[in-house]
Structure formats: C-alpha cells, structure tokens
C-alpha cells in the first residue's frame, strides 16, 4: 500500500521537463487513492430537456469507490437484468483539499480532468429509493481514465465529452451546455464536506445515454480541443453476468418509466407513448377548434356524455379572444401559517411553474373558488407572457387587475383582490390533477377558452371532436342562413331528410 500511495502521489504531482504539464496515465494506484465518488444528477441542458425538467440547483448522489475500473476492464450486466445504461461524463479529480471554498477559488482545487462512464442498471433503481447504491455502485460501474488532463491546462468552459457505442457516436456535447459550471459544483459540495485530494466528481451526462447489451463496447473521451489535450478513449466491453440475485434482497424489476429513462426516450424504448395534449393538439386540430364557436364544442362533448367539462364563473380580460392550449396545473391549499412558512416563500411552486410554462400551454390554478386573496399579480402574469404561455386561468383572485388586463396574455379570473397569497393560499404542488371552477383538469388536457366559456377536452378525443365540430359548425351556418332567408325552423332545426338533402347540395356547391 505504501508503494501504491507513492505512485498515486507521483501521478498527482509529476511534471514534464521545463515545468510543462502533461497528461498522466490512470493506473490501479490512482483508483486506490480515490476516497469518494460524487455524482451530479442533471447538469447538461440537453439531458434536462430530454428528461422534461430543469433543476434550479445541482443535486447529487454517491457511488462506491470500489465501482471504479480501468480502461479495457469488462463490465458485467448482472444476470436477470436488461437495462444497463451508459453515461459518458467528464470526471474531476480533486487536487487540493476543498472546504467551504468560494466560486472564484473552486476550480483551483481541481487537479485533473478525465473521462468516466457512469454506468447503471435501471432494473434495480426502484430498490434504492433515490440513493443509487445498487443501481449505480456495482463493481466496474465507473470506468475511469485512461489519461488525466491537468486542470490548470484547460478552460473548464471549453471541454468536450463524446461517447461511442461499437464505434458509432452516441453522445457529443461541450461544457458550454452545462446548467451548472464546474466551479459551482465543487463549491457547493464543499459547503458540507471536505473534498480530499483524489476524490472524484462525475459532472453529469448530456443527452444520448442509452442501453447497452453484452457484446457491446462503450468508449468515452474527454478533450480540450483548443490545446489538443485528450484523456484518450476510455473503453469498456460489456459482458453477461452469470450469478443471479438471491431472494433475500430486492430482485430486478422494471417499470415502463424505468425503461424510458434507461433508453432516453419512449421511441428508443419501444414504448407506445400515451396520447397527450401536446401530441394530440396538432396545428390542424387547433385550427379546426379555433374556427368554431365554443358552444359548438360544448355540444360535441355533451354528445359523448361529458357534461362536467366547463370551468365556470370566471371573467376574461380579453373579451371574446379565443385561446387554445394544453394545461399546466398549479394547486393552492388553504393557508396554514406553518405550511406557508415552509412552502410559501422563496422559489415556491407558484414561481417554479411560472418559470417553466411555455408556448402552447395554459396555466390553470386551483384556488378552491376563494376570492379573498390573489393567486398572481402583474409581474408573474408578465413572466408567463414572456415565456410564451397562451393564457392563465384561476378560480381565485388577481392582484393588479388593471395592469394584468393591459398585458397581451389573456387571463381568466374570479375577480380582483389586493392581498397576496399568504392571506388565504399556500402554493403547494404543480402538474397534478386539480379542480378549478367546478371541474377537474389534468396536466395535458386541452383547454379552449374565450368569453363564452372555458372547456376541458380529454386529449384522447380532441381530434375526433375537432372533425365533428367543423361539420356541425357548417350545418349551423346553413341553418342560420336558411332562417335568415325566412324559412321556418320546423324540420330545419334539426334538419329532416328534405333539408338534409338540400344541405348536401349546398356543401357540394361549395358551401358559400
């Protein structure tokens, strides 16, 4: 061990002649000198967008140091599992101890940069309750190397990470895409723990991670192109394990969500995606719904037995302007002082959803019909407008109503009130099933709203409803014109066989 420690020290400090720093090889002595392996959950924008969530701050998990392995070492896919996924990452190796370091000084505590592969078996993810102990800390699940690039020789914003599977490029991204710079990660971790020399930080993976099978070979390379420095390719062959899990512990289990996460997308996982508002509300469907009266849509929904799909009792800031979008939801609970203290301040649920609502989406708030306090004001309404949201709907009050009315974004509300949230409401959770204005709204439901009413359309039927209402609207136009010309409504509204034939002739003639 003394000899290994000496070798580790040599790898960390040796310099080339004339003081030039150079890439050092990773050997077993380097691995033996690692005290802890820390890993970031989400840090690349491409990966966060793929997962559908953008964290406000970095979060972490730990991997066992015994999971480290050298380039060329095979990794076993455990017997009885299917979802062994690779994640090419940039690994930071701490050079000098860091405890409560500042953002400005954090990078100075990084000694080396190299490639790593944050392998994990998603079949065991459920058993860890977020710790990733079994799913990420198997022997060989953290290949590392093969060369250490001196951190002082690179710009941390100019690094690149690439991953190949069987020679095909699977991941290619740069640190320009990071949500959190490396200095922030180092400084943040050092707030609660001392980072010792040799400790490893895995800095997250970009989009493109997926599942590998026995017979595959994964290669990861980190480089600093502007100076021609590279870690070299970290190679990991995948082999099939033969020892099954024993039943005195958790056995492998896969959910559909695990499969999608492991492969990176529903399409790659071979999972048929559910019909959602965003997939169902195509440009054609939206155009059809915009072309008809809200009352016509209501009639089509009633024909399908959907009588409780209107959000009632609200006022519109933009009169008859019609909006269509998919629902994002926010739920308020009645104010309780201790809960407001824990959930009402800071970057609460209200502010988080306002910061993530976007084009094609309508923010719907459940405020229990409580008018005695506002659910948002002009600043947050403006933020939703800047984000590109289609509309805001709340069955609670609105502050600064005159200013909100002046904004371009339509807002449907239950009246004006000058008080802030804490008087009646605690912002509680987002993107959950809620009740607003007497009906139920689920995230992804299609919302059609104007001064005539607000309707909720289940995504699974929105296309057929759109086709039907266009036809119904055309029939209503025909009937209106016939009445306008002096015809009686008897037999015309609804149309009997004679009028139906005349209607078909009118359509065939161009329905002018």
Residue ranges of the binding site for Mg(2+): 400
Binding site as annotated, residues for substrate: 377-380, 399
Burial category of 254 from C-beta neighbours within 10 Å (exposed 0-12, middle 13-18, buried 19 and up): middle
Return d(Cα 141, Cα 177) in angstroms, integer: 25
Closest CA to 121 of 211, 186, 54: 211
- What's the CA gap between 186 and 114, in Å, rounded? 16
Query: Three-state SS for 129?
Result: coil
Binding positions: 377-380, 399-400
Report whether the peptide linkage leading into residue 146 is cis, meaning its omega lies within 30 degrees of zero: yes
Beta-bridged to residue 38, according to DSSP, are 62, 201
Measuring CA to CA, how many Å separate 446 from each of 275, 324, 359, 484?
11, 7, 14, 34
Q: What is the dihedral of CA 352, 357, 363, 367, to 10 degrees?
A: 0
Report the C-alpha gap between 93 and 51 in whole angstroms: 27
DSSP secondary structure string for all residues of 193-259: SPBPTT-EEE----TT--EE-TT-EEEEEEEEGGGTEE---EEEEEEE--PPPPTTSPPP---HHHH
- What's the token pair of residue 443? 């995230």
The Cα angle at residue 461 between residues 457 and 464, in degrees rounded to 5: 115
Contact 366, 435 (CB under 8 A): yes
């Amino acid at each position: 061990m003394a000899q290994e420690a000496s070798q580790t020290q040599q790898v960390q400090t040796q310099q080339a002649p004339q003081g030039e720093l150079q890439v050092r090889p990773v050997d077993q002595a380097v691995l033996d000198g690692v005290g802890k392996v820390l890993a970031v959950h989400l840090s690349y924008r491409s990966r966060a967008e793929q997962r559908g969530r953008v964290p406000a701050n970095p979060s972490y998990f730990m991997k066992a140091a015994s999971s480290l392995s050298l380039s060329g070492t095979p990794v076993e896919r455990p017997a009885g599992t299917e979802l062994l996924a690779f994640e090419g990452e940039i690994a930071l190796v701490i050079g000098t101890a860091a405890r409560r370091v500042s953002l400005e000084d954090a990078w100075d505590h990084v000694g080396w940069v190299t490639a790593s592969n944050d392998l994990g078996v998603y079949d065991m993810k459920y058993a860890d309750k977020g710790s990733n102990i079994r799913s990420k800390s198997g022997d060989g699940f953290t290949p590392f190397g093969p060369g250490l690039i001196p951190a002082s020789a690179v710009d941390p914003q100019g690094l690149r990470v690439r991953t190949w599977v069987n020679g095909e490029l699977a991941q290619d991204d740069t640190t320009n895409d990071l949500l959190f710079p490396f200095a922030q990660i180092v400084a943040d971790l050092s707030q609660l723990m001392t980072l010792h020399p040799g400790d490893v930080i895995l800095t997250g993976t970009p989009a493109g991670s997926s599942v590998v099978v026995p017979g595959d070979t994964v290669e990861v390379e980190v480089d600093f192109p502007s100076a021609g420095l590279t870690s070299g390719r970290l190679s990991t062959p995948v082999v099939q394990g033969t020892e099954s899990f024993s039943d005195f512990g958790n056995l492998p289990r896969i959910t559909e969500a695990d499969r999608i996460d492991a492969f990176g997308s529903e399409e790659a996982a071979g999972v048929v995606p559910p019909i959602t508002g965003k997939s169902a509300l195509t440009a054609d469907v939206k155009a059809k719904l915009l072309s008809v009266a809200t009352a016509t849509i209501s009639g089509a929904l009633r024909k399908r037995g959907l009588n409780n799909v209107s959000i009632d009792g609200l006022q519109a800031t933009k009169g008859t302007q019609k909006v269509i979008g998919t629902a994002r939801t926010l739920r308020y609970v009645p104010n309780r002082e201790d809960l407001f203290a824990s959930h009402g301040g800071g970057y609460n649920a209200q502010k988080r959803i306002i910061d993530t609502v976007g084009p094609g989406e309508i923010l719907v708030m459940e405020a229990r019909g409580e008018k005695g306090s506002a659910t948002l004001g002009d600043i947050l309404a403006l933020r939703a407008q800047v984000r590109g949201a289609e509309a805001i709907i709340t069955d609670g009050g609105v502050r600064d109503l005159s200013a909100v009315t002046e904004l371009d974004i339509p807002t449907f509300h239950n009246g004006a009130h000058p008080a802030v949230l804490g008087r009646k409401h605690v912002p509680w959770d987002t993107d959950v099933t809620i009740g607003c204005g007497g009906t139920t709204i689920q995230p992804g439901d299609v919302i059609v709203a104007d001064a005539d009413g607000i309707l909720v359309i289940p995504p699974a039927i929105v296309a057929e409803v759109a086709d039907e209402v266009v036809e119904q609207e055309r029939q209503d136009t025909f009937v209106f014109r016939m009445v306008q010309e002096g015809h009686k409504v008897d037999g015309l509204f609804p149309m009997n066989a004679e009028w139906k034939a005349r209607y078909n002739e009118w359509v065939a003639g161009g329905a002018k």
